[in-house]
Amino acid sequence: STLRKVDLNSGDILNNINLEYEYFGEGITILNDRIFLLTWKNKIGFIYDLDFNKIGSFNYDKSQEGWGLTNDGEYIYKSDGTSKIWKLDPYNLEEIDFIEVMTDKSRIKSINELEYINGKIFANTYQQNRDVILIINSKSGKVESIINFSGIRDYLEADNNTDVMNGIAENDGKLYVTGKNWNKLFEIKILDE
């Protein structure tokens, strides 16, 4: 696994570090000029400065694994592959609370990638509802909307390594999505139907 800074337009790698072989890197978020990075099953996360110098680490206390990270400018939110999204203290990374992602009919499991946008948490689910993003109320966990990306894979170059949708990012008011081993990053405009 690597931590990379990539030029959005060209795809050129501007900075890159390899994680030690025993760690499978997962979600990242940037808050207060610090990069927080999760590992999948090691129950440890790493903290870097913006030049990719490792400046700390933190352990998972209550959550099962490390899947996705985002922040609202004050708190960090972490998914662990269950229906829970954990709220973390940004200073000591303690898991202080959680919401459970729910529809009016059921609990949604396998919450994966996260992105906080305008008071909502955008999330996908690993191998559940394959090409959708859930828009979740960050206070209650209620799924308020779903963005359907069926057909997006038609725009990828054919490749047997193409895997699940697993990348959501917002930058300067623009929404981007991608997936594991996808050869494209998509800029998305959301239309109401």
Pairing of the two strands 174-179 and 165-171: antiparallel
Task: List per-residue pLDDT tens for the chain, 193 residues long.
Answer: 999 999 988 989 999 999 999 999 999 999 999 999 999 999 999 999 999 999 999 999 999 999 999 999 999 999 999 999 999 999 999 999 999 999 989 999 999 999 999 999 999 998 766 789 999 999 999 999 999 988 888 888 877 777 888 899 999 889 999 988 888 899 998 876 5
Burial zone of 109 (CB within 10 Å; 0-12 exposed, 13-18 middle, 19+ buried): middle
DSSP E strands, 13-72: 13-18, 25-31, 34-39, 44-49, 54-59, 68-71
pLDDT tens column, 46-75: 999 999 999 999 999 999 999 999 999 999
pLDDT value of residue 129: 65
pLDDT value of residue 9: 87
pLDDT value of residue 164: 82
pLDDT value of residue 193: 59
CA dihedral for 83, 80, 151, 121, sign (positive or negative): positive
Cα–Cα distance for residue pair 122/145, rounded to 1 Å = 10
> Which bin fits 102, alpha (ψ -120 to 50), beta or left (φ > 0)?
beta
Could you tell me the pTM of the whole model? 0.94
